[in-house]
Amino acid sequence: SQNEGIQLVNLDESGVDIAFREDVLAGLSQSQKALPARWLYDDAGSQLFEDITQVEEYYPTRCETEILSSRGAEFAEQIGKGRAVVEFGSGSSVKTPLLLNAIEPGAYVPLDIAGDFLRAAAAELSAKFPGLPVYPVEADFMKRVELPDAVKSKPKLGFFPGSTIGNMVPRTSVDLLRSMRETLGDNAKLLIGMDLIKDTEVLEAAYDDAAGVTAQFNLNLLRRINRELDGTIPVEQFHHEARWNDTFARIEMHAVADADMEFSVADRPFAMQAGETIHTENSHKFDVRSSNTLLLAGHWTPCARWTDAQGRFSVILAEA
């Protein structure tokens, strides 16, 4: 029931994001209340996520960076030179130069929904790699994207780091992988980060750090609802919880109500009982078989994989 697609912003006459209001009202009306994780990333949420990547317990960014910086020679050998690197949801990625340094690409095509941000990041990257043609494309990459003519004849390498695929339920991630396959065409390769299943304590700590940064990230969504949708959610009566769901192999973030309560959002009344939760995010974790199965279902054949020294995170190369 979670809508995980990316949409262009559509505001009503009073400046309210219509999709946000619809998702929140629908999500709070379910028996298990749930909100699509994409709404976690307003300005404050995006900054809090950047902060999360720096906390000790949150290993994925550190481990993936270790792989990308130490395996350059192997990437070069497996991927080859001259490919147009198409990065999905490039954002402000600091990981991109690590890959580009290793493989001598023929062009770089960052794809992102946030146009201004995208162009600024593309300009910064152009400055670091003079001579590399950079073609930013503002697009929703959940669907097939028409790439610029200048890269059409080049073989492509899709790049999707960060285990962002893990934030989607399998049905959505399979659709995304198939769209990527269509966007990138025949002879394409895909380099994708996928976080690994590990001890529950390590996973839960990564999503519930001692400094409370992830808690703030989670509860910021409730504050955003109050601010943007005229809500009266008593945020101080919620706490953050990170739960391992072993059936679905995922960490779930929940905002747990500490007391019985009533509140309203956009003039609609809601009630929660103490202990009831709002489910705000999934972060799926993989092992070799499940990641291979997902890629194959998405029309990609895995051909190489790398993990960090502690075996916590994987970067997988697949071919069309």
Residues that bind ligand AVI (CB under 6 A): 52, 60, 162-164, 166-167, 207, 214, 217, 281, 283
Integer angstrom CA distances of residue 190 from 139, 216, 254, 265: 19, 34, 32, 42
Of residues 59, 65, 52, the one with CA closest to residue 93: 65
First to last CA, the chain: 30
Rounded least distance, CB 217 to ligand AVI, Å: 6
- Rama region for 266: left / alpha / beta (φ>0; ψ in -120 to 50; rest): left
Cβ distance to ligand AVI smaller for residue 17 or 209: 209
Give the residue nearest to ligand AVI (CB).
283
Amino acid occupying residue 223: R
Q: 263-273 burial string, b = 16+ CB within 10 Å, else e?
A: bebbeeebebe
Cβ distance to ligand AVI smaller for residue 281 or 308: 281
Rounded least distance, CB 303 to ligand AVI, Å: 23
Cβ distance to ligand AVI smaller for residue 52 or 188: 52
Rounded least distance, CB 163 to ligand AVI, Å: 5
Integer angstrom CA distances of residue 50 from 36, 120, 191, 227: 19, 17, 22, 22
Cβ distance to ligand AVI smaller for residue 147 or 192: 192
Rounded least distance, CB 296 to ligand AVI, Å: 22
Cβ distance to ligand AVI smaller for residue 187 or 310: 310
Rounded least distance, CB 106 to ligand AVI, Å: 28
